[in-house]
Structure 1
Amino acid sequence: MSSLSNFAETLIICLVSWILWRVFRRLVMTSPLDNIPGPPSNSFWTGNLRQILHRHQGWGFNNKLAEEYGSVVRFHGLLNTPILYAFDPKALHSILLKDQNLWEEPPWLIATNLLLFGPGLLGTLGNWHRRQRKMLNPVFSINHMRFMTPIFYRITHSLRDAIYNQIEDGPRDVDLLDWMTRTALELVGQGGLGYSFDPLVDESPNEFRAAIKSLVPALFALAPFRTTLHYLKAMGPASFRRRVVDILPIPSLKRLKTIAEVLESQSREIFHAKKAALAQGEDAVVRQVGEGKDIMSILLRENIAARPEDRLPEEELLGQMNTLVFAAMDTTSNALSHILYLLAHHQDVQNKARQELVDISDGRDLTYDQLVDLPYLDAICRETLRVYPPVTNMTRTAREDAVLPLSTPFRGVNGKLIHSVPVPKGTDVYIAIRASNRNKALWGSDAAEWKPERWLSPLPDAVPEAHIPGVYSNLMTFGGGGRSCIGFKFSQLEMIQPIQKRYRVELGEYQVPHDRAQLE
């Protein structure tokens, strides 16, 4: 215990020294970012971070930044450190594509992901990250997505029956967000890991599901101070870090530790079961939940067949498992819930989507190629991902002094026109995904409105001409460049199939017809 006490004293001294240095530097040094327009600081300690990262009011503050200040904004971070908020197309193209070697995810974010998920795609940088991505790219091919379709149908059939059973004795409230969370976890469980987390037949508690679901709220509780979490990584071995967290009076940090332990324990159990099945031969693999067609089974085979220097070690494979579950569950469940909510408030859209499905399906499950070739259902998904992207912002840090080019000049605080923005080394830039997707200069005056029909005719010329660096439909929803979402096709399939089962949604509430035939 004495070593921990000495460590705590040293940590406090280092923290106070760091704060004094940051305050002194901010008082005596100017920054070229001071000339960028932006909101006043809301707090000396946390700047505007509590506003932009607020769980309930964050969207409103993001809207304010985009509407009142423009496509490049300066706001305040810890101790009023300047941070950029940007959705200018040229600036994004520079950060994510043209000069992406100058920009990386910030150290605090990488360290947090490494502590939570292990050394997967979200917790690695540079050549380490590129080597992993090279191995994983073929696993997420469209051909493999075709194999996922029957797996996903089995799950959505179970979901359909579970909801029907809830209202079989008469109308009642149905918690769709909870069902979409459970469904998304089972989709990524069976399709991603070849493992069933939830049979979708009762409301029994599930420790793993609860841990994943509480991860984002726990991170939000720590949001203004997440930039300091990476110091935990430098505290020695994991056992010592756990002891440090246990003595710190920070409940959210303790909760994160518990979540990370649950993730690691479950992933190791699944991983060793899959390794054992592979060792027994193909017959044992096909008897597993995913029948050997899930992403992890494919990855393990690819890894065994790869050259020794290209193979991923066990810890990195475990890191991919944790990363996949988190990335594919939370975002997909939110997107699915949003789509169903929007359909409930747009009966005309719901009717058109239902008719499109009735015309093609004849009550049968559709193939992958048929699913992705439904123009109106596709428009509904694209428009929801445009207006309500599950991730609002992502962050990059300048590794060196950089200059951001601009599509449209703007006036600085001093009144002079700014044609490019000099960015000092170490500056964080929030890539404003939601603001980019709703940019009125590109999408028109109705950019913030949900209108699936806009995807059924040519988009405004300004949209393709802007060269948005996103990997999906001129949108930033799945990111762009070398760190774009590798599994966005998997995510699309996760969303389309539950919707394709055509649950009937009425204005203002969720209702399932009592005639089971109408559910088919």
Structure 2
Amino acid sequence: MISLLALLLLACVLVAGRGFVWIVNLLFVSPLFDPLRKLPGPQGPLFSSHIKWVIDPDLSATQHEVWKKQFGKTFRYHGSGRFDYRLMTFDFRAVSHILLSPIYEKPRVTRTFLSTMLGKGVFTAEGPEHTFQRKIIGPAFTLQSIKAITPIFLRTADNLRDRWDEILAEGQETVDVCHWLSRATFDAFGQACLDYDFKAIQEETEELYLAFRRMFDLADEKGILRILVPFLDTLWPDRIARSVLESRRVIYETGRKLIAQKKADLLSRKESSKHYEDKDLLGLLIQSNLSNDPTKRLSDTALLDQISSFFFAGSDTTALSLTFCLYYLATHSDIQTRLRLELAQPSVPNSAQSSNFEDVSYDTLDSRPFLDAVVKETLRLAPPVHGTLRTATKSDLIPISEPVALADGTIIEHIKIRTGSIIHIPIEGLNFSKDIWSDDALEFRPDRWSSLPSSAQTPNFPGLANLMTFSFGSSSCPGYRFTIAEMKAFLSTVIPHFEFSLPEGQSVGKRNGLFTRPFVKGKPGIQLPLVIKRIDEYAPL
């Protein structure tokens, strides 16, 4: 008995000792050898953190500029505490190197957290697996594919317009556009991705819609402890964990049926020699998958993971972008009027000789220069994701365009970084940078897109200038054309039909979580109510 107690005591001492050594190393020893320690940056006590200044939209928009003036384009800040040095850079040479190099990956805790909800889709994969998945999903996001599904966006926008007409006819003047656009983009994604109608605009009762909606809403409720220690969901499944599991069960059960139907339809067409091009993402994914080497095909579960990932990364983000766009138009009535006048004018599509309705629909949207500028300016000022993190998987030298002076006066032209270091890519900060966009960078000014300064033009961002919203390189969003086409379809439908304004006395703010969402100051919850008035005389697109 005594020996057993002695062994238990010894084990406790060893565990406590190892824990003590780990803490001392984390807080005091390891930071001394971190090369980022010598970089310029804000200071603070041992357990001070600058994360609030990085992620709070009320602070970050101006704090980024303050730090750049103090420390230059590349500096370090404290993450969890003074011992946690993190690199932040506004230097495009460094940003390009980090986002294009296979050395840098999304942090494991981020990928694990997302995979508990989305599975192992393209947004959680890294390395060769990520490259392979990009190859499989590529055909679903070509320009030709986006042209084919643009009529879906237009029809869904028509449904939303009709629903808002009904609401106004009932005497309601103020509408939470954030809520309704979320429902509408779910419908658009359901049909464009799955060839499946959620009917969310009509009523929020469809089981698969509710499963997706519930799971995505819960993503912002997960506490930091469960993000850092994801296995807690398995050991102590709370309400959130149980709800996520139930939602995934519904999604995968329904999804497998949809995949089986699609495969059977594809086989039937092959046997009958009928030619029919799938337009929805799931159909294109299945075709792309089946045309690949059988030993490298994605499983049905992996295909569903891709669909879940794109719903998560695309539906809510597009709804948020449209929401903020209507907010900016509501607070800039002159720009709203100008956009309405452009949409009322007849236009000649780029493929004017085409008799294909799908081509004309897309090209008509694409031929509106001010609409294009409004969409891009919204995406610049309200990126759905305010920033992204990368972890160095091995030591590296990051090239920079401007020399940096270290604390000891040494001038360097490369940033030395060690394995495990975290790099913060400030998407919002780069989109707001006065160095790039001029002194009015925080203003909503769509006309800037007709004469971009040279600092906002670079070959790294074809067609989108230095817009960081969709990132670039292998980590860029493959669905950026999808988002832009959908935004244009909705705006082209509702702007000629309605006038939007801000309710009197209402102040709107931004709240950063997984995505940047709007809220009304002094009121709970995510929302953006706008006053909507019907315009009786309007010219349809």
Give the TM interval when normalised to the shorter protein: 0.7 to 0.9
The Cα offsets for residues 54-90 of structure 1, whole Å up to 9 and x where unpaired, read as 5876656556545654422312223531111222111
The Cα offsets for residues 349-377 of structure 1, whole Å up to 9 and x where unpaired, read as 11111111110269x99610111221100
Instruction: Indicate the SS of the match to 2:457.
Output: helix
Q: Kindly tell me: are residues 138 and 446 of structure 1, through their superposed partners in 2, closer, same or farther at Cα, counting changes over 3 Å?
A: same
Counterpart for residue 336 of structure 2 = 350
Equivalent in 419, 443, 449 of residue 425 of structure 1: 419
Shifted more, 30-39 versus 321-330: the winner is: 30-39
Amino acid across the alignment from 2:281: I
Equivalent in 255, 270, 275 of residue 270 of structure 1: 255
Counterpart for residue 21 of structure 1 = 22
Equivalent in 31, 37, 40 of residue 37 of structure 1: 40
Any conservation in 2 of the 1:353–1:377 contact (CA below 8 Å)?
yes
Q: Kindly tell me: are residues 243 and 425 of structure 1, through their superposed partners in 2, closer, same or farther at Cα, counting changes over 3 Å?
A: closer
Amino acid across the alignment from 1:462: S
Instruction: Indicate the SS of the match to 2:187.
Output: helix
CA distance in 2: counterparts of 1:165 and 1:502, whole angstroms: 14
Instruction: Indicate the SS of the match to 1:195.
Output: coil
Equivalent in 202, 205, 208 of residue 211 of structure 2: 208
Amino acid across the alignment from 1:245: W
What is the deviation of 1:497? 0.9
Counterpart for residue 130 of structure 1 = 131
CA distance in 1: counterparts of 2:414 and 2:58, whole angstroms: 33
Counterpart for residue 490 of structure 1 = 482
The Cα offsets for residues 279-327 of structure 1, whole Å up to 9 and x where unpaired, read as 1558899xxxx99421111111222232212311122111101101000
Counterpart for residue 386 of structure 2 = 392
Q: For the aligned residues, what is the CA RMSD?
A: 3.3
Amino acid across the alignment from 1:376: F
Counterpart for residue 405 of structure 1 = 399
Amino acid across the alignment from 2:433: N
CA distance in 2: counterparts of 1:514 and 1:463, whole angstroms: 38
Counterpart for residue 197 of structure 1 = 198
Equivalent in 85, 89, 109 of residue 88 of structure 2: 85
1:299 equivalenced with 2:285 (yes/no): yes
Shifted more, 63-72 versus 304-313: the winner is: 63-72
Instruction: Indicate the SS of the match to 2:397.
Output: strand
Identity %: 27
Any conservation in 1 of the 2:456–2:465 contact (CA below 8 Å)?
no
Q: Kindly tell me: are residues 307 and 346 of structure 1, through their superposed partners in 2, closer, same or farther at Cα, counting changes over 3 Å?
A: same
CA distance in 2: counterparts of 1:61 and 1:20, whole angstroms: 36
Q: Kindly tell me: are residues 370 and 153 of structure 1, through their superposed partners in 2, closer, same or farther at Cα, counting changes over 3 Å?
A: same
Q: Kindly tell me: are residues 515 and 438 of structure 1, through their superposed partners in 2, closer, same or farther at Cα, counting changes over 3 Å?
A: closer
Instruction: Indicate the SS of the match to 1:422.
Output: strand
What is the deviation of 1:47? 2.9
Q: Which runs of 5+ in 2 are unaligned?
A: 1-10, 271-275, 349-356, 504-529
Amino acid across the alignment from 1:392: H
Any conservation in 1 of the 2:399–2:413 contact (CA below 8 Å)?
yes
Q: More helix per residue: 1 or 2?
A: 1
Q: Kindly tell me: are residues 108 and 470 of structure 1, through their superposed partners in 2, closer, same or farther at Cα, counting changes over 3 Å?
A: farther
CA distance in 2: counterparts of 1:68 and 1:225, whole angstroms: 36
Aligned length: 482
- Report the TM-score when normalising by structure 2: 0.80
Shifted more, 303-312 versus 134-143: the winner is: 303-312
What is the deviation of 1:16? 9.5
Counterpart for residue 369 of structure 1 = 363
Q: Kindly tell me: are residues 516 and 348 of structure 1, through their superposed partners in 2, closer, same or farther at Cα, counting changes over 3 Å?
A: closer
Counterpart for residue 381 of structure 1 = 375
Any conservation in 1 of the 2:499–2:534 contact (CA below 8 Å)?
no
Counterpart for residue 471 of structure 2 = 479
Counterpart for residue 493 of structure 2 = 501
Counterpart for residue 236 of structure 2 = 245
Any conservation in 2 of the 1:470–1:476 contact (CA below 8 Å)?
no
CA distance in 2: counterparts of 1:55 and 1:452, whole angstroms: 21
Any conservation in 2 of the 1:502–1:519 contact (CA below 8 Å)?
no
Any conservation in 2 of the 1:185–1:209 contact (CA below 8 Å)?
no
- Report the TM-score when normalising by structure 1: 0.83
1:107-146 to structure 2, matched below 5 A, reads 107-146=108-147
Larger-gyration structure (1/2): 2
Counterpart for residue 325 of structure 1 = 311
The Cα offsets for residues 111-163 of structure 1, whole Å up to 9 and x where unpaired, read as 22222211110121111111111111112111111111111111111100111
